Amino acid sequence: MAAVTCAVIGAGIVGAAAAHALTKRGAQVRVFDQFPLFHDHGSSHGTTRLYRTAYFEHENYVPLAQLAVEAWRELEAESGEEILSPIGVIMAGPPDGAVISGMRTSAKAHGLNVRLLMEKELAEKAPWLHLPDSLVALFEQSAGFIFADRALRALCRGAADKGAVFNANEKVTSWRSTPAGVEIKTSSGATHVDRLIIAAGAWASDLLGPHVARITPVQKSLFWIAPNDKRFSHNAGTIPFGVETPEGRFFYGFPAIDETGVKFGEHTGGAVMADPLAIDPAAFDAAEREATAFLKDYLPDAPRRIVARKSCLYEMSPDGDFIIDRHPEDDRVAFAAGLSGHGFKFAPVLGEALADLALHGAITADFGFLLRRP
């Protein structure tokens, strides 16, 4: 019996994970991306991403986050590279704010090890972090960060080793259903496959059409400081952090893992983009001013001179939850969209789910809350 042929649109972290999962199931896979592999135009580039299981966004994400940790460990074993760094994460905010109350809800519902840091212990674990008296801090020992670029390359390499073909610099312009399968048109011509997976990030709505909730590209800004300050290095034990301010803004940061320095940015806010490639310099400058103000208030002992900055995209769904399902016009087409700035850590389980949807038309109940919505 001939292997099922499947095309994947998008070679970012979710598309790569889907290709990896499909090849494990014996499918013949071709991955299309409009840019070179490992480009920096979308949402998957960069050195690090937070991972955590005490999920403040909603307790329903916790089982998926736990499965993702197992899947990342399997990728580590396959690739021979360190993907996860479980050094713990500190999250701070008002006791009744979205972050702290959400973490406590998830921890209680799933029996997670999350504990309140008293002033002395906070000073020991994060002497560089200064919080006003109105904020509290929680510590999740089993959380940490993902070596993001390394993870993406490992998924692509693993898929390619099992036969996946990557067509970089080949944009998919459209697709249509046929009696025999799905025809996709690219800048190089037409390709016919049995199944299609769309993981196009900020460009998803161009391919999903009006029957799936609109995905909005949002410009985000990342900054680096303290490139030579060993106090803030990964090797010195600096812990990733997130802070929800009393005004409801959420900033985060990572220890320095290389000479670039300490990475930080704001998860909230951002500039809506009409074109995902049209970076707004004014919005970039405004974000830098806000980031510098945050440093002054919350990391007063850290150098505030920003030595590097980069942009990335959030692909926002209407409510901030992921959307993963089969396309309403063709059950042979599966998609993931609207990862809304918190999807990277879930990539391997999203890839597995997309492979199951494309090949078998069903996924586990854990994903039920993410399925199709108007």
Q: Where are the beta strands (DSSP E) in 54-142?
A: 84-85, 89-93, 114-116, 136-140
- Catalytic residue status for 263: yes
> Considering only CA atoms, which of 290, 297, 272, 254 is closest in space to residue 134?
297
Burial class (CB in 10 A: 0-12, 13-18, 19+), 207: buried
- Candidate list 41, 220, 267, 327, residue with the active-site label: 267
> Does residue 373 have an active-site annotation?
no
Handedness of CA 335, 69, 249, 251 (dihedral sign): negative
> Is 296 one of the annotated active-site residues of the chain?
no
| Catalytic status, residue 327 | no
What six digits make up the tokens of 90?
């500190």
Active site residue 47: no
State both tokens at 223.
């900054």
Catalytic entry in 20, 49, 220, 332: 49
Q: Scanning the structure block, which residue is given the tokens 């995902």?
A: 276
Catalytic choice (20, 195, 263, 326)? 263
Q: Quick one: how far is CA 174 from the chain centroid? A: 25
Phi, then psi, of 316 in degrees rounded to 5: -85, 130
272 to 69, 83, 113, 277: CA distances (angstroms): 31, 31, 37, 12
Query: Is 6 one of the catalytic residues?
Result: no
Angle, alpha carbons 11-89-324 (nearest 5°): 35
Q: Shortest CA distance to 62 belongs to which of 121, 153, 166, 143?
A: 143
Given the residues 25, 45, 125, 309, select the one marked as catalytic. 45
- Active site amino acids: 45, 48-49, 263, 267, 312, 345
